Amino acid sequence: MQSLELGICSWSIDRCDPVTAIQRARRDLDLGVVHVGFFGNVTPAAEIAKAAANANVELSATFVAFENEDYSSIARVAATVGFNHDERIDERFTLLREAIDVSAALRVNMLAMHLGTIADDPAKLRQRVQQAADMAAEKNLTLLAETGPESPDVLKSFIESVDRPNVAVNFDPGNLVMYATGDPVSAVTTLRRHIKHVHVKDVTASANPGVQWGTPVPLGTGDVSLPRVISKLRARGYDGPLIIERTAKDGDLRPLTDDLNYLRSMFA
């Protein structure tokens, strides 16, 4: 994988079928890097590996999301996403184990997820993240925490309090605007030691920040300041992939093509 190579989230193309997403990433977008996502179930490693090999696609990381996670509002995210849902914690660790095993079989070394909103007293969440990190370490995987519901300072302090060398950050500057939790440019400095993987999307700020979402928009038209973010990432030594995360509606990949053209123009 080349430094700052462009890629795509599989769920941007097809949320339910990472195999089809890998095929279309190469065929329709001419991309050789895909971040593979599992949403409530895990696709067998052999199917993904075959699709990636046939398409000459490299997998940058995997991603796991759980059933019954509710993204209808910021408040529902805090109540239902990640390891904060007490009633379903056992089944979530079961799915996590499956995702870890498939990631290892694919020889991917990073698994990303939304850990759960970090509360004022995060002792329970910390213990669960430590457990997840230890499970990942058994297969030489780094567990990536997605940015978003909390400020970069809070996330940094939490990761350091978890005290596991294999916990790092999947840096999504768009989520900081989406949740109104921080400035994407300064967040690079705050989280720089922990950033191992990057998502790219643009978002316009909410008129009711912290209560209602910001709005995803084409790259270069929102409030994320992507040129400045990417410039600072480069200056801070980040050389991993830049992975577009934007949903293609009804299989129409033209918005993703536009986003790719925007990013490619930055490196021309």
> Region 197-207: what's the mean pLDDT?
97
**Given this model, what pLDDT does residue 116 score?**
95
The rounded Cα 30 to chain-centroid distance in angstroms is 21
> Region 158-180: what's the mean pLDDT?
97
CB-CB contact of 42 with 102 (8 Å): yes
Least confident of 5-14, 112-121, 138-147, 220-229: 112-121
**Given this model, what pLDDT does residue 121 score?**
83
Q: In this structure, which CATH number among 3.20.20.150, 1.10.443.10, 3.30.70.260, 3.40.50.300 belongs to the domain 6-266?
A: 3.20.20.150
C-alpha 202/C-alpha 266 separation (Å) is: 15
Closest Cα partner for 26 from 62, 61, 60, 57?
57
Confidence of residue 7 (pLDDT cuts 50, 70, 90): very high
**Given this model, what pLDDT does residue 46 score?**
98
Mean pLDDT of the chain: 96
Does residue 268 register a pLDDT over 80? no
Confidence of residue 249 (pLDDT cuts 50, 70, 90): confident
**Given this model, what pLDDT does residue 250 score?**
83
Confidence of residue 119 (pLDDT cuts 50, 70, 90): confident
Per-domain residue ranges of the chain? 6-266
Return the ∠ at Cα 259 (arms to 152 and 217), rounded to 5°: 60
Tell me how crowded residue 264 is: count the other CB atoms within 10 A of its CB.
Answer: 10
46-93 per-position pLDDT tens digit: 999 999 999 999 999 999 999 999 988 899 999 999 998 889 999 999
Query: What three-state secondary structure class fits 107?
Result: coil
